[in-house]
Amino acid sequence: MPTKIPQKTRRIPVKPDKANDSSVALVVEHTRQGILTDFYPADSKIHPKLIAERCGTSFIPVREALRILEAEGFIVFRHNRGAWVTPLTLTDLHDIYKLRIELETEAVAQSRSFDKSDITKLNLLIKKMSQSKTKGKSDLIVQFNQDFHFYIYEHCNSERRLQIIQRLWMHSKRYQRLSLQIRHDAAEDEHIAIVDALSNGDHILAAEALRDHLNTTVNLLDASWQSTEPHVGSY
């Protein structure tokens, strides 16, 4: 009877813990959005147990999520004091907008051409912002403003640049709400100037109009900072 040769042992690949991965993603999204919408205010303490209860998870996904948010710059860990929402500061505001101005104006200057349907879309978003202002819908103003800008930036020829701009926008949202409340009418005129330049195929002029638009936002935020203290609370 022939000798039976034992088969080589096969390693069965272990699938990642999908449930745990999804729990971490859920906590990251919940906490990040809470920070962006001021549900978790600037410089407030983060309570992991409370977040776990709100997300229906254990403590482990919350711990991992907070480390991700720390890497993104939304959370800071203070010695023997736990996790806190990153505070709002003028220095941070200036850093964000300095980077945004350079990256976004370059994206516009180097973007591909805009056809009639593109211009129609941009004008529609300007109209939606105006209608939202009339109705007092600040959240919609913020959303349509973002849609307007990124419809333009998506015409740039650099996916990497677009990703970096998206990350900076997440952080600038914490400041941006104030600027749109202060200056919607002026912002609308500046948006129209950008679209007019794009409509005429002058991307350099559009980039300069965008630079003026962003610089005006920073200057107004500077002026309002002394009278509008960042909201601080705890949860």
Per the model's pLDDT, the better-predicted residue between 29 and 178 turns out to be 29
The residues spanned by each domain of the chain are: 18-85, 90-225
Facing residues of 82 across strands?
78
pLDDT band at 27 (very low <50, low <70, confident <90, very high): very high
Q: Are 114 and 202 in contact (CB under 8 A)?
A: no
pLDDT above 80 for 173: yes
CATH topology of domain 18-85: Arc Repressor Mutant, subunit A (1.10.10)
Predicted confidence at residue 133, as pLDDT, reads 86
Per the model's pLDDT, the better-predicted residue between 221 and 194 turns out to be 194
| Region 103-121 average pLDDT | 96
| Region 24-52 average pLDDT | 94
Predicted confidence at residue 7, as pLDDT, reads 41
The H or E element that residue 138 is part of is helix 138-153
Mean pLDDT lowest among 69-78, 161-170, 216-225? 216-225
Predicted confidence at residue 229, as pLDDT, reads 55
pLDDT band at 231 (very low <50, low <70, confident <90, very high): very low
Predicted confidence at residue 233, as pLDDT, reads 34
Per the model's pLDDT, the better-predicted residue between 162 and 10 turns out to be 162
Pick the CATH number of 90-225 from 1.10.540.10, 2.60.40.420, 3.40.50.1360, 1.20.120.530: 1.20.120.530
Predicted confidence at residue 141, as pLDDT, reads 86
- Mean pLDDT of the chain, nearest integer: 86
- Give this prediction's pTM: 0.79
Region of 180 please: left (phi>0), alpha (psi -120 to 50) or beta. alpha
Q: How many residues does the chain have?
A: 235
Closest listed residue to residue 235, CA positions, set 78, 65, 71, 39: 39
| Rounded percentage of the chain residues whose pLDDT exceeds 70 | 83
What are 81's two structure tokens?
Answer: 């004091």
Predicted confidence at residue 15, as pLDDT, reads 39
